[in-house]
Structure 1
Amino acid sequence: MAAPMELFCWAGGWGLPSVDPDCLAVLVSAAAAAGAAPARLGPARFSPARRSPLLQTYARFTGAPLKVHRIANPWRSPSGSLPALKTKDEGVISKMQQIITHLRKQKYNADYDLSAKQGADTLAFVSLLEEKLLPVLIHTFWVDAKNYVEHTRKWYAETIPFPLNFFLPNCMHKQHLERLQLMWGDGYMEDEEKLEKELYRDARECLTLLSQRLGSQKFFFGDSPASLDAFVFSRLAPLLKAKLPNGKLQQHLKSLQNLCNYCASILSLYFPWDGGDPLASAPRAAAADGGSDAEDDPHKRRNQVLSVLLGLGAMLGYAFLSGIVSIQRGTAGPAARRPVTIEEDEDEEEE
């Protein structure tokens, strides 16, 4: 058998196999391309008691040598970001669309049976999702103050290991703000309230259009999933499953029953044993596997120590650069013989 490709993606939460939309898209694309019917992907064969929830493989179903590592530390990814696909021939691929394209080149293509018209429809709907829905999803999770503080940052801070959880959520927040500004243009800051109102209206219309297009079908092109289903599910499922304190777009999605049933169906078909919280059961699963994680990674302890040291260094660097911590030198005279002191700004509050 060919050497397995390794997919690194964000860990699960909120009842989902991964909380990150791009990671979800790759996961569902891989499952759909592998032809993973529920009878062949049953929980008895991949239950956490028999196999670590951080490692899943679809190889025995279609020969697709793919292992999935769901982690909460992007520094453990070979690219330093998530998702990332580690391959034998092309190295590491770190963009969602590039990962899906690579899987297609390896003959794992969920769109193989689509007609030319269905292929054109796929491109049109994916473009609609990226233009009308994705920016509002970023705003909902990362910009809306109430949602970000009480839900998004809280989840990442509790899930990312110490000490990275002190600064990585804020770094991710900044990256999403910059990404949103690129999507919305320079006019974003001029009349933010008006622009948000228009964009949320467009997002609601996009959801309604998706609902009308899906109708009573199981998937968008009939009884078999395609790449469009992976894109739609990856955008809708986090919005549907997250417990958002401010869920104005979420309420509209919940009113579209066929889209809710659609997301529930994909979860039950392809991830029936996923509780959405693999990290909580990981230690017990590793013990049941007889230490298989240690065998897979003989330098695990060394990597953990290095990760902590790097995290501490990055945290201190961030603190100095942001002005949270400053170094003051004493004046000339007796006071100059005192050791250098570090003062913390007590007025600085965690955002």
Structure 2
Amino acid sequence: MKRYRVAFIGCGKRAHEHAIGVQEDSRCEVVALSDISSASAETLNSEFGFQANIYMDHKEMLAKEKPDLVLICLWTPLHLPVFRDCAEAGAKAVLCEKPMSATWGECQEMGRIAEETGCQLTFSLQRRFAKGNQTARRFIKEGRIGQVVRMDLYSPPNLLDCGIHTFDQAISYMDEEPAKWVLGAVDTSEIFNWFNVPSECGASGQIMFTNGVLASFYSGSIDTWEPQQDMMKLWAGVRVTGTKGFIEIMWDGQIVNAVNYEDPSWKPELELSSMSEQMIGYVRHAVDCLETGEEPEVSYQKALRSSEIIFAFYESVRRNARVELPLTGVMDSPFITMLEQGQFTKQGA
């Protein structure tokens, strides 16, 4: 069995969740941890018994330790420069925290670097490994709800950090079908800051996919309880409507409701997966793909499809028009540019 030298860059909360997956894979040997806070690195080292060398400078770590796999668990603006450092240092694979980056140009650059260097780049869209999501994909592929005709997508705020999970979930249900156009609007009555990236507090719009499926999207503050129906609303997930029924799935694969019009007795069992189980599946699959050479389930190519929708959403706001894909002529984050230009100033302010 081949063993891989593993290093972490960033040792905070998300690193602890990634570490669960790494610890469960006997092919992984954690040799180094890097964080600007040595205390954070020491805590991670102690909790998981890694006995790894600790660094405060990730470039020094990469040069000395020469890891095969690197896990980047840093805030969004650091993803591109640190991934570039890893790829240039010869890392065979990088498992990076989502979202990809703060601008569309930077997302594309990460893909270019991965392609040029051959470094396997994946993003932690680990919910693809939830049992319920895997079951939902199988049901849809088997035609349990007939031909998919419509989707309703729900996400907490914001598009970049949370919406990417919902878009990725929807795309995975349609066998990686890309989007054709996007029409979007954002709510800027409050500006959030997530991992050093400003964002809207809500958004809504429509996405047309190339297979003709029209999806409605909503993010923001959603009422979570319907007393009349005594059930939870979808606040983070997807409702897939087909010609023979529908299925509603939360982010982590909880099947909230499923109906087949021709078979009223069809009631799929609720399949729950913890974050730990998802991270174990994510890491194991990434290492498997490094050995087989197949495209990972959460490859950068797939992350780019969801990211393109996000930045097209923002570009639609900037243009006040529907945006056709592929997204061209855009390198920035239209949202950040508009924010910096004062286009979201509150009326009367």
* TM-score of the superposed pair, with normalisation by structure 1: 0.29
Larger % of helix: which? 1
- TM-score, normalised relative to structure 2: 0.30
If asked which structure has higher relative contact order (CA below 8 Å, sep 6+), I would say 1
- Structure exhibiting the larger radius of gyration computed from Cα positions: 1
Give the structure with the larger strand fraction.
2
